Amino acid sequence: MIRSANTPLGLWQFAPDEGIHILDTAGDRGRWRPLVVSIALTRLCHKECAFCYASAGSGRDGGDSLWPYDDLITLIADLDKNGVFCITLGGGEPTLWQDPSTSRTFYDLVDEIHHRFSVAVTFTSSGSAAVAYDRLPYIPVRLSCHEPGEVEGVLRSARQMRERARCVGINLLLWRTRLDECRLAVRRLVNAGFHDILLLTLKNVGRGAAHHSERVDPEELARWLRTLDLDFVRLASCDPVPAMMSSDMGCGSGDWFLSISEQRVVKSCSFVDAGHPLHELSYEGLVRASLNLPRMTCYRPFTDSPLIKQPWHGPAGTRV
């Protein structure tokens, strides 16, 4: 089912089965509203990365989720009813989440969202927990690759997932002192047939603050991207990269994208610490909680994009 919304840029359509977004800039204008909602299910994660922005871990704090199963379903049902395009589940390691009061698991949740609602569902796993591939419906998934040395292990998980998933994307964390290895990791992923790569830089949040010197700034990222020399690869980055069309569109964090933590705090981005509590498990409650959210310093609004101030020369005002 195609979902659509009138946005400040025009009519935005999303085909979840193909994962395709189409923006008709000649379409009617509307206001920003939540279209993609990320829900952190838990901070439980056995990988305990030293740089984890979510400060996830195995201890009691890590398992401290305020999401019972029924509350998640209540909220997601209303987001679905109000035309949200996609729910992305994260954490911590989302596959470890379960509701102790009902014994329902991550897999029950994904299955119910997929079969009961029209909203698309996806999740990001570090692959650190054994993923029960046979319990997953046919949905897109993402795997994290936290350093270039992990790429072979990530590829093994990605190949297993590819058997069961609609598509597999990779989130690759870039390290400033290891950009040459990161370049090889990208080539390795692409050569293995994984063409959807999200490039992440270390954030000054949670345990990531201790590794701030490894952060790749936008200028370095732009220079590094020019050395990749790749065709037909969907590379995305949440950092604004000068003179690159994709990042000229801005990141949308807090406009059409919202994140809700395992403590039910609504944030403009998963990488922001501060937000507003979600008091009502409804779409309207989410919209209310999203007013005047703090944003990352890297945020740029779509409406400031040079792309929309210039005439569009593509066919019929449509961007894909």
Does residue 128 belong to the site contacting ligand SF4 (CB under 6 A)?
Answer: yes
E strand segments, 29-156: 36-40, 86-90, 98-99, 104-105, 120-125, 140-145
Please, which residue, 56 or 296, has the CB nearer to ligand SF4? 56
Pairing of strands 86-90, 120-125: parallel
Please, which residue, 41 or 86, has the CB nearer to ligand SF4? 41
Cα–Cα distance measured from residue 83 to residue 35, given in angstroms and rounded to the nearest whole number: 7
Does residue 92 belong to the site contacting ligand SF4 (CB under 6 A)?
Answer: yes
Does residue 47 belong to the site contacting ligand SF4 (CB under 6 A)?
Answer: yes
Please, which residue, 52 or 281, has the CB nearer to ligand SF4? 52
When binding is defined by CB under 6 A, the residue of 49, 119, 145, 296 that contacts ligand SF4 is: 49
Cα–Cα distance measured from residue 37 to residue 216, given in angstroms and rounded to the nearest whole number: 26
Does residue 91 belong to the site contacting ligand SF4 (CB under 6 A)?
Answer: yes
Q: 191-208 b/e with 16+ CB inside 10 Å = b?
A: ebebbbbbbbbbbebbbb
Stretch that binds ligand SF4, among 49-57, 71-79, 101-109, 178-186 (CB under 6 A): 49-57
Please, which residue, 16 or 92, has the CB nearer to ligand SF4? 92
When binding is defined by CB under 6 A, the residue of 75, 84, 93, 237 that contacts ligand SF4 is: 93
Q: Report which residue type is found at 317.
A: G
Ordered strands of the 3-7 beta sheet: 3-7, 10-15, 20-24, 318-319
Please, which residue, 49 or 174, has the CB nearer to ligand SF4? 49
Does residue 39 belong to the site contacting ligand SF4 (CB under 6 A)?
Answer: no
List all residues 6 or more positions away from 240 whose beta carbon is below 8 Å from its beta carbon.
Answer: 218, 247, 250, 251, 298, 300
Please, which residue, 126 or 290, has the CB nearer to ligand SF4? 126
Please, which residue, 200 or 221, has the CB nearer to ligand SF4? 200
Least distance to ligand SF4 from the beta carbon of 211, Å? Answer: 11
The backbone torsions φ and ψ at residue 28, rounded to the nearest 5 degrees and listed phi first, read -60, 145
Least distance to ligand SF4 from the beta carbon of 206, Å? Answer: 8
When binding is defined by CB under 6 A, the residue of 52, 155, 189, 258 that contacts ligand SF4 is: 52
Please, which residue, 129 or 222, has the CB nearer to ligand SF4? 129
Cα–Cα distance measured from residue 167 to residue 185, given in angstroms and rounded to the nearest whole number: 19
List all residues 6 or more positions away from 284 whose beta carbon is below 8 Å from its beta carbon.
Answer: none
- Which residues are paired to 82 by β-bridges? none
Cα–Cα distance measured from residue 266 to residue 29, given in angstroms and rounded to the nearest whole number: 26
Could you tell me if 129 and 73 are in contact, meaning their C-beta atoms sit under 8 angstroms apart?
no
Stretch that binds ligand SF4, among 2-10, 51-59, 195-203, 237-245 (CB under 6 A): 51-59
Cα–Cα distance measured from residue 8 to residue 104, given in angstroms and rounded to the nearest whole number: 40
- For residue 300, give both structure tokens: 């740029």
Question: What residues numbered 130-159 form the site for ligand SF4, per CB under 6 A?
Answer: 144
Does residue 126 belong to the site contacting ligand SF4 (CB under 6 A)?
Answer: yes
Please, which residue, 52 or 251, has the CB nearer to ligand SF4? 52
When binding is defined by CB under 6 A, the residue of 9, 23, 54, 260 that contacts ligand SF4 is: 54
Could you tell me if 167 and 192 are in contact, meaning their C-beta atoms sit under 8 angstroms apart?
no
Least distance to ligand SF4 from the beta carbon of 143, Å? Answer: 10
| Site residues, ligand SF4 (CB under 6 A) | 45, 47-49, 52, 54, 56, 91-93, 126, 128, 144
